[in-house]
Chains A and B, each alone.
Chain A
Amino acid sequence: MWSPYKKWLLRDLDRWRANGWLSEEGRAAIVADVQNSASAFSLASALGILASVLFGFAAISFVAAHWEDMPRLARLLFLLACVWAGYGVAGWLEMRGQTLLADAAVLFSSGMFGASIMLISQMYNISGDPADGILLWWMGTLLAGAVLRSNPTLALAMVLVGTWSFLHVSESNTVHWPFLIGWALVTAAFVWQRWWPGLHLSALTLSLFVVSLGYLLGKGHAHGLVAVLGVLAAIGSVAIEKTRFDLDHLATPLFVYAIAVTFAGLFALQFFESPSVAQLLLLAVVTLSLLLVAIAYALSKGNRGALWIGYMAFSTEILAIYGQTIGSILGTSLFFLIAAVIVAALAYLALRLARRSTNGEQPA
């Protein structure tokens, strides 16, 4: 468990204890439980995962060095032996109950699998498509992660799916739709594992994919589509929150990613395209209004992530408008007009919130 949570909980526990809601034994039991769950994510396993990542980089550099003193066959057999040894160590650690260290060993093997693919590509001068090698790598990694139920390995699979798509896009400059297949497979594995950090990774890669659509579809001018998709996702998340209380933990982060995607689309429309002053003004008003609505909603739901993204986007938008309009007196005047409208809207919002809190409902 993360220490900010622990600190927070300890503070609350002291208050509850002082109020007499909690017995001293109850407090001790809760503290002991938190301490125990904290050791599940121990320093040793964190270092183990880190070591596996470093081993992976070492192996890939070893391949890249093309070291001639060691015959090609020996290099290949060495990497293959590393793959098998990793799984062997994983089994041994699992038997001893070191589950998280076993995860690190599985991750190590998947890294060695990737290094082996690179070595074979190098031995046979396969240049056709670097992305083809990564395709085999992510499939092998996904297999290992799903069959052995190893979360860090599944995270690697998602990173590899993203890299695979990125290589395709950077070469062809067209949308790489097969990304969605890989993404769906790894996400399904995350859901099956009930591993929420993995779902965050899924949401992040999907958000990047959606934003990239704006630059790839419609000759690179499809940012409107990105904004619409973002707004739809936000509406979807609100709908989930209203109707399914049991899925609250999914709707809350979904809203955060939806705001980010919407803003990325609107921002590109305003500042990477070249709209007329009137269009820019209209888009800016739309953007700022949507952000205010999002911030207000986040405040009412206590969605800290959405609040943070909302404030960030709001500041970025204001700065960008200022940068765009400055230079002409009319533009600057327009900027102040927009700023005034925003501040007036903020004041209204603050009034509403204050009224609500005096009615007894405390905003988060």
Chain B
Amino acid sequence: MIVARKWLWPLLGGVALVQSVALFDMIYERHRLLTSGRELTLSVRPLDPRDIFRGDYVTLGYDISTLKKSNTESDSDFKGFIPGTPAFVTMSPKPEGGWTENHVGSVYPSEVTAGDIVLKGRVLSAWKSQDGAETIVNVRYGIEKYFVPEGTGSALEDKVRAHKIEAIVAVGSDGTGALKGLVIDGERHEDPPLL
């Protein structure tokens, strides 16, 4: 460190302040998303229970993690076959409860039916079936990890295996999703707000 004496403390304070503000901004963004975003409840697909608990988080799989061309309407210019490109998935409420995907595009849809929610994801990979009739696109939404205290994973693991977990997702106006909590056996589990 070679800093002029006169500037030492202002510079140190400045750096500490900028880093702190960056951290608070991160918290603020998430907090706003969780409190103001619309809520989407998705059933969690049971993954191989031996594989889903890595250390201290649960990997959650959803029906919308794999989109099939045959049952999802898509924009004609959907670029979903390039990994890393965005995918905006429109979710509609089902009459019997729960949500179903009905449309996918590379940009936020210009018209959204009242009641529908658009969730933003990112294409992870895509492939075509051998006869070329079916295209499968793997999408990640940033809601695939639920962190749990060390050693408490196994109880959750049993419940995922028994199909009793749903995820509560808060969705912001730009489509960003945030995992808000889990519904376990019909009971909501949510972390209390930080402040």
- Interface on A for B, CB 8 Å cutoff? 64-68, 72-73, 76, 80, 83-84, 87-88, 90-91, 94-95, 99, 102-103, 106, 109, 113, 116-117, 120, 122-129, 136, 140, 143-144, 147-150, 171-174
- Pick from B3, B149, B178, B195: contact of A126, CB below 8 A: B178
Cβ-closest chain B residue relative to A127: B145
Chain B residues, CB < 8 A from A150: 1
Tell me whether A94 and B56 are in contact (CB under 8 A).
no
- The tally of residues in B whose CB lies under 8 Å from a CB in A reads 44
Total inter-chain residue pairs, C-beta < 8 Å: 116
Given that A94-B8, A122-B147, A125-B179 are contacting pairs, would A117 and B3 also be in contact in the complex, using a CB cutoff of 8 Å? no
Chain B residues, CB < 8 A from A66: 56, 147-150
- Pick from A73, A88, A125, A172: contact of B143, CB below 8 A: A125
- Interface residue? B155 (CB, 8 A): no
Chain B residues, CB < 8 A from A144: 15, 19
Tell me whether B142 and A127 are in contact (CB under 8 A).
yes
B37 to chain A, nearest CB (A): 12
Tell me whether B23 and A94 are in contact (CB under 8 A).
no
Tell me whether B26 and A172 are in contact (CB under 8 A).
no
Cβ-closest chain A residue relative to B2: A149
Q: DSSP class of A's interface residues: helix, strand, loop or mixed?
A: helix
Tell me whether B12 and A88 are in contact (CB under 8 A).
yes
- Interface residue? B93 (CB, 8 A): no
CA distance in complex: A116, B26 (Å): 10
- Pick from B9, B20, B144, B194: contact of A80, CB below 8 A: B20
CA distance in complex: A76, B191 (Å): 15
Chain B residues, CB < 8 A from A140: 18-19, 22
CA distance in complex: A64, B12 (Å): 28
B101 to chain A, nearest CB (A): 19
* 11 cross-chain CB contacts under 8 A: A66-B150, A67-B150, A90-B12, A94-B3, A124-B34, A125-B145, A125-B178, A128-B122, A140-B18, A149-B3, A150-B1
Given that A90-B1, A144-B19, A148-B1 are contacting pairs, would A127 and B143 also be in contact in the complex, using a CB cutoff of 8 Å? yes
Given that A66-B150, A171-B124 are contacting pairs, would A80 and B23 also be in contact in the complex, using a CB cutoff of 8 Å? yes
Tell me whether A68 and B149 are in contact (CB under 8 A).
yes
Tell me whether A113 and B19 are in contact (CB under 8 A).
yes
Tell me whether B140 and A106 are in contact (CB under 8 A).
no
CA distance in complex: A28, B89 (Å): 77
A86 to chain B, nearest CB (A): 8
- Interface residue? B27 (CB, 8 A): yes
Cβ-closest chain B residue relative to A173: B83
Of A80, A103, A124, most B-chain CB atoms within 10 Å: A124
Of A90, A94, A125, most B-chain CB atoms within 10 Å: A125
Chain A residues, CB < 8 A from B191: 72, 123
Chain B residues, CB < 8 A from A171: 124
Chain B residues, CB < 8 A from A127: 57, 140, 142-145, 179
- Interface residue? B13 (CB, 8 A): yes
Chain A residues, CB < 8 A from B30: 120, 124, 126
What is the 8 Å Cβ interface bit string for chain B, positions 127-154, against chain A (1 contact, 0 not)?
0000000000000111111111110000
Chain B residues, CB < 8 A from A173: 83
Tell me whether B22 and A126 are in contact (CB under 8 A).
no
Chain B residues, CB < 8 A from A94: 1, 3, 8
List 14 additional A-B contacts (Cβ < 8 Å) besides A66-B149, A129-B122, A172-B124: A67-B150, A72-B194, A83-B20, A84-B16, A87-B12, A90-B1, A94-B8, A109-B19, A113-B23, A125-B145, A127-B144, A136-B22, A144-B15, A148-B12
